[in-house]
Copies of this chain bind each other. A is one copy, B any other.
Amino acid sequence: MTISMYSASVPVFQHVLRNLSHVLGKAAAHVEARKIDPVALTQSRLFPDMLPFTRQIIIACDAAKNGVARISGVEAPKFEDNEQTFAELQARIQKTLDYLGSVPAAKFEGTDDKEITVPIGRDKTRIMRGEDFLRFWAQANFYFHVTTAYALLRHNGVELGKADYLVGANAG
């Protein structure tokens, strides 16, 4: 098998989102064991003008979902973006995985050079080649928010290691 627009996108987002779900499970267990208010983690920020943990998860999910929708042309469901608890964030990840799993690999054929219009901020757009959109935009944005979520948990004392992020439940 050779690398393709499908193999470089959907399985990567799925793999990392499953590991993110594993990380969230550890965070939820952490607050439960210590009788900590979960909001101390879910609303935590690394700096006052950065987004809180909940938004990092939501944006990571959307980078995957909207990235795949723009490349494949398969319409993605819209969500309300009102997740607050670990359980709600886990459900958001699961709904994103459900969508990713529903997109046929065939929809990615020939998308390497497809022109994709990407919204930039509120009122600008940028046209990118499909492959450039995937490698320089969707993936970079996705990893940014997944890693920031991990960093927030580590900064707040949740016992995690890089293996939880890299291999998820296989980290033991």
Prevailing SS type, chain A contact patch? helix
Tally of contact residues, A, Cβ under 8 A: 36
| CA A162 to CA B63, docked complex, whole Å | 14
Taking the full assembly, how many copies of this chain does it contain? 2
**Shortest distance between the CB of A137 and any CB in chain B (Å):** 7
A40 within 8 A of B: no
A143 partner residues in chain B, CB cutoff 8 A? 139-140, 143-144, 147
**Closest residue of B by beta carbon distance from A49:** B154
Residues of A in contact with B (beta carbons under 8 Å apart): 1-5, 7-8, 11-12, 15-16, 46-47, 50, 112-113, 131, 134-137, 139-141, 143-144, 147-148, 150-151, 154-155, 157, 162, 165-166
**17 pairs across A/B with beta carbons < 8 Å?**
A1-B113, A3-B5, A3-B112, A3-B131, A3-B134, A3-B135, A7-B135, A8-B8, A46-B154, A47-B157, A141-B166, A143-B143, A143-B144, A143-B147, A147-B151, A148-B151, A151-B151
